[in-house]
Amino acid sequence: MTYHEFINAVLQALFPLLLAVITAAAGALAQKLHQYLNARFTAEQLGKAEAVSRYAVLFTEQVYRTAGGPAKLAAALAQAEALGRGVGISYSSEQWRTLVEHTVFTFNREWKQPASGGTHSA
């Protein structure tokens, strides 16, 4: 058996194993890519939903300035759901309530915080 024949025989023997390794690696890579894209979409959608929640709360604060807490919350929820549908986000009422409540909590903490050291940014 010549050197060339030996190499050819080894390659023929290893080819199925190499093909199996490449196929497994491609499958694992495809699965990781799928997981990444799903996580990325969810993060982008959540970012949009948080922005919608901020706009809804700011709008409600401006328009319903003299309304009480429950009326403002109901208006902010309705506005968030409507804005969300407009950008393709279909969260449940409970999910929107969670986002809006978080936004209100964050804004209240930032806006109603006493100025320290003579500086305050709203």
Per-residue model confidence as pLDDT tens digits over 30-89: 788 778 767 766 888 888 999 999 999 999 989 988 888 888 899 999 999 999 999 998
* Tokens representing residue 4 in the block: 């060339």
Is this prediction's pTM over 0.85? no
How is residue 13 written in tokens? 């023997």
pLDDT digits (tens, 9 = 90+) for 2-31: 998 998 888 888 888 988 998 888 888 878
Contact call for residues 99 and 53 (beta carbons, < 8 A): yes
Task: Give residue-wise pLDDT tens across range 86-101.
Answer: 999 888 899 899 999 9
